[in-house]
Amino acid sequence: MRGREGNAIFRNIEISRIVELGTMIPYREGRIISHSILNLPNISMVLFSMDVEEEISEETEPEAGWIRVMEGSLKVTLGDEDFIVEEGKDILISPNKTHALKALSRCKYLQISIGVNSIMELGTFIKKIPVRQVVALSDLIEYEPHKISSISLVQKKDLTISLFSLDQGEEMGGHASTGDAMVQVLDGTAEITIDDTTYLVEAGQSIIMPANIQHSLKAVKPYKMLLTVVKP
């Protein structure tokens, strides 16, 4: 579904609507299903569902890989090491690193691929997240009383990815971005106003805030989010 007529940065996902990404892709017996929601030269986002015991055999990709497991349990093999990534956990894959995937149970995950051609030092393409280690993003940032806290993970001309925590009552006032922004709420509840419409977005839910439209965010409860801003 197009986000805006003539300018679809995100695809197959409706702008300014609360969604649970896992509901956008079904399970099918004995199959692996994929569903692209973003496909630009330097970044892509693809949803996958895998039936139990289904596998993606060894492959290498020139992009940096970031896997967020939304449901189930996924075994990620990097070289000769196995990592078990459970629901709500993440793992990074270095560019050109041989890897393979196997669903230990029915599993859904979001794979983000980030081009590194314009990054001078490949070792710093994604900052502040350890490589070859399973992490929970919400554990990487703490709540600060009466404050907003943020951690920049990716900073490029056409792409930024950041973690935020907002204590209850804190807000990010009305502003507009030149790119589409996807909010993935990791914990708590956010009140997000886009133009004149307000949405309550809870942990496990996402919403896309369209480019050049005023929006604001307020913590109904303390909340943490992963914010991805993609510019054309």
Equal fold, 21-136 vs 138-230: yes
Instruction: Tell me whether residue 10 is exposed, middle or buried, using C-beta atoms within 10 angstroms of its C-beta: 0 to 12, 13 to 18, 19 or more.
Output: buried
pTM: 0.87
User: Do 104 and 136 touch, CB atoms closer than 8 A?
Assistant: no
- Sorted by sequence, the CB contacts under 8 Å of residue 25 that are 6+ apart come out as 33, 34, 35, 47, 48, 49, 108
Q: What is the pLDDT of residue 124?
A: 53
Topology annotation, domain 21-136: Jelly Rolls (2.60.120)
Residue 7 pLDDT > 60: no
pLDDT, tens only, 44-91: 999 999 999 999 999 998 888 999 999 999 999 998 999 999 999 999
Residue 125 pLDDT > 70: no
Q: How far apart are CA 167 and CA 143, in angstroms?
A: 6
- Level-2 CATH architecture, domain 138-230: Sandwich (2.60)
Q: How far apart are CA 125 and CA 107, in angstroms?
A: 27
Domain extents for the chain?
21-136, 138-230
Mean pLDDT of the chain: 90
Q: What is the pLDDT of residue 66?
A: 94
